[in-house]
Amino acid sequence: MAKYDLAPELVDLLKEKFPSLEVLGEGVVAVSKEELLPLMKELKENPSYAFDMLTNLTAVDYPDCFEVVYNLVSLPLNHLLMVKVRVEDKENPAVPSLCSLWGSAIWQEREVYDLMGIDFTGYPGHPTRILLDESFKGHPLRKDFQWEGGRE
Amino acid sequence: MRTQTYILNMGPQHPSTHGVFRIILELDGEVVVKAKAVPGYLHRGIEKLAELRTYPQVIPYTDRMDYLASMLMNWGYVAAVEKLMGIEVPERAEYIRVIVGELSRIASHLVAVGTYSVDIGGFTGFLYCFRDRERVLDLLEMVSGSRMTFSYFRIGGVADDLPPEFFPTLDKFLHDLPSLCDEYDGLITGNEIFQARTKFVGIIPPDVAVNYGLTGPNLRASGVLYDLRKVRPYSVYDRFDFEVPLGKNGDCFDRFAIRIKEIRQSARIIRQAVDGLPEGPIMAKVPRVIKPPKGEAYAEIESSKGVFGCYVVSDGSTQPYRVHFRRPSFINLGYLEKLLEGWKIADVIAILGSLDIVLGEVDC
């Protein structure tokens, strides 16, 4: 898959524009949550990137932070990029919403909010639960979620 | 005259939702003003359950997402784990994966075509599709011993080699398939009432489809060429000669018709894969205990409903730290609320059916 990752020279250009951008590997970058929205806007609207589809949006609960993961695809240029945002605040995690850029963020952000409990600032209205019932307490994909049952 | 809108609840127990799915419709007469989709009735927390299982133990859970194309769900998951561990899958296994994967795609599209015919009111077409799907299930049963939840893929290959009786049965099926497709086209696609109900209904413009992350036949019906098997070939798809059917108008009719065309193309791929099937092992050399190194991988495959992705994070133990599935049905459904606005209540069924969702996958 490596040959479809965003070319390194294009990643370097991004680094100049966004000081918080950090290259984590081939086709994987991390950015601060303050610069997430401007970076995504650039990636979508600049024709040399042309990332017109946000394919995947998910989050991971690490011991010291949450990480929100975005997978972007450019259909015209056929390249890929994974963007990550670390959220240090484990009490009230929040990242900017990308609904203004991609429609596919609307349901995926709701899913992350529902299962992982990460708030998306700027989401039209407020993200609501999508898979679980409104009355459900907690966010099951968090590592500290206490659940009954299982195999034992 | 003063008028007011009213709320009509559709589902969750409604046959045309193909599962348990609810839509709350706000109607002005019989025109939809606003629609609210309520999924989640089949949510089992597969992503959470996976965190307490070993890597191979997750495979049967993937069967239960898109249960109409379980082989492809298996494939997406093992592809991510193999990428994480850097496993090279033997050629014979790759060819077998293509054969059973495309058979699964045919089975899934036959359900889509058949049930869509029922949604529009034609029961006969449904029976023909299910009659022929039975033959695909028989073939997959020979391979895996199961008719629905196959769990046939393994990390590094497939569970078992193809049995000898598989080949003549497959040959006969592939021989009959083009004429069967002609039969569906004659019965359903060419039907005047069917066309009146579906043509220029529920149009999705190409730029909107891309923006909302739609993939699979739903995106290609809008004329966007995006099929991972073609644009970013994985496995051995670059060795086969096939076409990617595209739609023109992005309406319900195109989304329906494209699936029959894809069945024909899948048959072409299977024929080539069977002819070129190399000898050799069906499993890579993998450790007895699967313990991927610390790290993460995201892999995508082209499922029957669209791009199926799997994101796996490993902490170096025998159990995945986090698994996320990018389910095409879920993301395709994200546009439904907007799509329904302005259409009549009878079109709601036509539009929902044309998206071909599987609730096991939507709710995960």
Residue with tokens 């706000």: B26
> What is the C-alpha end-to-end distance of chain B, expressed in Å?
47
Whether the pLDDT of residue A13 is over 90: the answer is no
What are the φ/ψ torsions at residue A105 (nearest 5 degrees)?
-75, -25
Interchain contact B130–A (C-beta under 8 A): no
Instruction: Please report the ipTM that was assigned to this predicted complex.
Output: 0.91
For residue A12, give its domain range: 2-94
pLDDT above 70: percentage of residues in chain B: 100
Digit-coded pLDDT (tens) for B36-63: 999 999 999 999 999 999 999 999 999 9
Q: Which of B113, B100, B108, B38 is nearest to B67 (CA)?
A: B108
Summarize pLDDT for B259-279 with one digit per residue, the tens: 999 999 999 999 999 999 999
- Interface size A-B, in CB pairs within 8 Å, comes to 86
Cβ of A102 within 8 Å of Cβ of B211? The answer is yes
User: Is residue A76 assigned to a domain?
Assistant: yes
Domain annotation covers residue A148: no
Tens digits of per-residue pLDDT, A68-101?
999 999 999 999 999 999 999 888 999 999 999 9
The per-residue pLDDT for range B78-121, each reduced to its tens digit, is: 999 999 999 999 999 999 999 999 999 999 999 999 999 999 98
Query: Distance of CA B5 to CAs B31, B35, B150, B348, Å?
Result: 10, 12, 47, 17
CA B118 to each of CA A1, A42, A123, B122, B340: distance values in angstroms, whole numbers, following the listed order: 41, 46, 38, 5, 20
Quickly count: other Cβ atoms within 10 Å of residue B207's Cβ: 11
Residue window 26-65, chain A: list those with CB within 8 Å of chain B: 52-56, 58, 60-61
Please indicate if any CB of chain B lies within 8 Å of the CB of A141. yes
pLDDT at B96 (0 to 100): 95
pLDDT of residue B15: 80
CA atoms within 13 A on the CB side of B175: 6
Topology at the third CATH level for domain B6-363: Cytochrome-c3 Hydrogenase; chain B (1.10.645)
Give domain limits for chain B.
6-363
- The average confidence (pLDDT) of chain B is 92
Q: How does residue A25 score in pLDDT terms, banded at 50, 70 and 90?
A: confident
CA distance A67 to chain B (A): 12
What residue in B sits closest to A78 (Cα-Cα)? B231
Closest-CA distance of chain A to residue B22, Å: 12
Q: What is the CATH number of the domain that holds A64?
A: 3.30.460.80
- Per residue in A14-24, pLDDT (tens digit) is 888 888 888 88
Residue A80 included in any domain = yes
Give residue-wise pLDDT tens across range B12-31.
888 887 889 999 999 999 99
CA closest to B224 among chain A residues: A75
pLDDT over 60 (residue A150): no
Give the span between the Cα atoms of B131 and B121, in whole angstroms. Answer: 18
pLDDT in tens, B182-206: 999 999 999 999 999 999 999 999 9
Instruction: Region of B45 please: left (phi>0), alpha (psi -120 to 50) or beta.
Output: left
In this prediction, residue B3 has a pLDDT band, given cuts at 50, 70 and 90, of: confident
Helix (H, G, I), strand (E, B) or coil at A37: helix
CB contact under 8 A, A131 and B43: yes
Nearest CA in chain A to B40: A131
Task: Nearest by CB to A60, from B213, B224, B322: name it.
Answer: B322
Q: B297-307: buried (b, 16+ CB within 10 Å) or exposed (e) per residue? A: bbbbbbbbbbb
| Residue A90 in domain | yes
Name the CA dihedral angle for B333, B336, B339, B343, rounded to a multiple of 10 degrees: 140
Residue B116's pLDDT is 93
Mean pLDDT of B214-229: 94
pTM over 0.95: no
Tell me what pLDDT residue A10 has: 86
CA B181 vs CA B99, B174, B178, B195: distances in Å: 19, 11, 5, 17
The total domain count for chain A is 1
